[in-house]
Amino acid sequence: MLKSLIHHERASYDLRIDYSQPLPPPSFSEADQAWIASLFQSITKV
pLDDT in tens, 12-37: 767 778 889 998 888 999 999 999 99
Q: CA of 26: how far to CAs of 2, 11, 38, 43, 44, in Å?
A: 32, 24, 17, 21, 22
Give the global pTM. 0.45
More confident residue, 39 or 4: 39
More confident residue, 6 or 22: 22
